[in-house]
Structure 1
Amino acid sequence: MKITDFIYYIFILFIVAACSGGRPLQLRETPLEISSEPIEKGLAPIRDIQMYYEIHGKKDGVPLVLLNGGGSTIEVTYSRILPLLAQNRKVIALDEQGHGRTTDRNVPVSFETSAEDVVALLKFLKVDQADIFGFSNGASVALNIAIRYPKLVRKLVFASSITKREGAYPMFWNFMKNATFENMPQALKDAFLKVNPDPKKLHTMYEKDAARMRNFKDLSDKEIRTVGIPTLILLGDRDVPKLEHAVEMVRMIPKARLLVLPGGHGDYLGEAIMSQGKDRYPELTSALVQDFLDSP
């Protein structure tokens, strides 16, 4: 191993230890098998759509809101980590506009409109303040909420996303430029059709999500620096966002911390399209995220 590689891995271990609040993490020898049934679920009338939501875990306390990646459902992004998070807290999960069980509107899907939808859902559920955990496109939605409604968000987990086009590798943008419905991962198609068996709606969702990324607009440094809440920047060491971009965000957000875990986009969540369900990444990620949420 080169000395530079050794220093890099020591750096990663230091980050993990720092986020754990000084308490040793003990993982089981085999993956933890936990299931979670929602204590409440339904369709909420939100800004001219019917938004599907689920509530898991405890009835009281500051809820943790989970926002999915693009093209995904609750099950695709969070099925393995949600039960772990719901053991000790109230968790609210939802499907974005046109995704899964949530209806669509005759306008493009955007980070800004989805942020307004989430805010409206929390108002519908009588939630005055929440922690928000967004993955990929969901993280961009979560950051928009934190910027526009700073009093609504107590803590933010910004996972595997970017604030500027240069934050992702050129090969990602080249792929998006030439992406078609045919090369959309089959696992995402199957997950959508499992909860919404309408191929036309699946195709529409894909086209809107692809257009959103092709038209991605940078956030200004000024906007990013307005985020004054504790923020955990989370990504894999082989993720779509560049590690340098995550470091830049940590330097701009006054109360930000950085957590880098081994793997690619969604590996640390046990995301359905990435994981075979045999690893313990979700348990590790859940422990570190909850330590961050529970810290002063």
Structure 2
Amino acid sequence: MKALNTVLIIIIFISNAMSQTNGKYATVNGLKMYYEIHGKGYPLVLIHGGGSTIETTFGRVLPDLAKQHQVIAVELQAHGRTADIDRALSFDHDASDVAALLKQLGISKADIFGFSNGASTALTLAIKYPELVNKIIVASTMYKKSGAYPWLWEMMKTPSFDQMPKQLKEGFLAVNPDENALLSSYKRDVTRMQSFTDMNEEDIKGIKAPTLIIAGDKDVVTPEHAVEMSRQIPDARLLIWPGGHGDYIGEITTATANDGYYPVLSAIEEFLKEK
């Protein structure tokens, strides 16, 4: 058993070391933002979910995505290796930070793949920075409160740090061992969700970027809302996938790893390749 544990520790260490070799920081809007670049091809920006890191949201699918794309994976304000600063946590600020990073990197246009809160940021990018956005993939998100099941908002009335999934806590501390930063990140995300306001419907209808909407049939967001969103955005496709919040990409809290096989990636690649 000790030998097995030693092997697992070595594997995790090597995995983190490989990630770090691709990791860099950029100062954007007063924020020292951590990001990684993997692979070659047309730029694809990955935006993680709330309480998450690059690895906990996209770790199981990033290597496959990097086979076809120049993947630019970011960690947003108060998440993982990107420290907090003295400003509100908001989708507007996150979108502004990603936009500023792309401009610094000399990337005039990119595809955007956001999960959960990161998908709300992707929608905001498409609305506020359309010149930077080619296509967007918005996974497991809503543009208005009624799009999520009522239990989510009930939970947000009396949140507890104990409710944060163990996998997300461990994933955060694996890249940033500051427990105070983890607690602060949790509180920041909770505050943002408690003050969540509906996006302007006309803004959603005005999105010009081709859009792929993905949701699980047992997700935090309702399938009905995913259908509604697909009808609001003029050039939208819709995928309702079996499973819960992020099962289809192997998000770290999902029950199974699907043996490394994520068929949704084929649909994503087909969407991104379409003219």
Shared fold (TM-score, shorter chain, > 0.5): yes
- TM-score (ref. length: structure 2): 0.91
Structure with the bigger percentage of helix: 2
Query: Could you tell me how far apart the structure 2 residues matched to 1:281 and 1:131 are?
Result: 23
Tell whether 2:270 aligns with 1:288: no
Q: With structure 1 as the length reference, what TM-score do the two structures score?
A: 0.85
Where relative contact order (Cα < 8 A, 6+ residues apart) is larger, the structure is 1
In the alignment, the residues of structure 1 paired with residue 183 and residue 121 of structure 2 have an alpha-carbon distance, to the nearest angstrom, of 22
Q: Over residues 37-73 of structure 1, what are the superposed CA-to-partner deviations in whole Å (9 max), with x where a residue is unaligned?
A: 5674211111111100000011xx4200000000000
Q: Is the 8 A contact 1:109 1:212 kept in 2?
A: yes
State the identity as a percent: 50
2:30 aligned with 1:51, yes or no? no
Q: Residue 187 of structure 1 corresponds to which residue in structure 2?
A: 167
When the two structures are aligned, how many residues end up with a matched partner? 259
Which deviates the most, 267-276 or 192-201?
Answer: 267-276
- CA deviations over 1:65-107 (Å, ceiling 9, x no partner): 0000000000000001111111111101011101000111112
Counterpart amino acid of 2:89? V
Match runs of 1:1-296 below 5 Å: 37=18, 40-58=22-40, 61-282=41-262, 284-296=263-275
Q: What is the one-letter code of the residue matched to 1:87?
A: K
Partner of 1:26: none
Please report how far the alpha carbon of residue 229 of structure 1 lies from its aligned counterpart in structure 2 after TM superposition: 1.3
Q: Deviations over 1:140-161 (max 9, x none)?
A: 0010000001111000001000
| Large movers: runs of 4+ above 4 Å | 35-39
Q: Which runs of 5+ in 2 are unaligned?
A: 1-14
Tell me, yes or no, if the aligned pair for 1:267 and 1:281 is still in contact at 8 Å.
no
Structure 2 residue aligned with 1:6: none
- Equivalence for 2:8: none
Determine helix, strand or coil for the equivalent of 1:197.
Answer: coil
**5+ residue gaps in structure 1?**
1-34
For each residue in 1:17-38, what CA deviation from the matched residue of structure 2 results, as whole angstroms up to 9, or x when unmatched?
Answer: xxxxxxxxxxxxxxxxxx8956
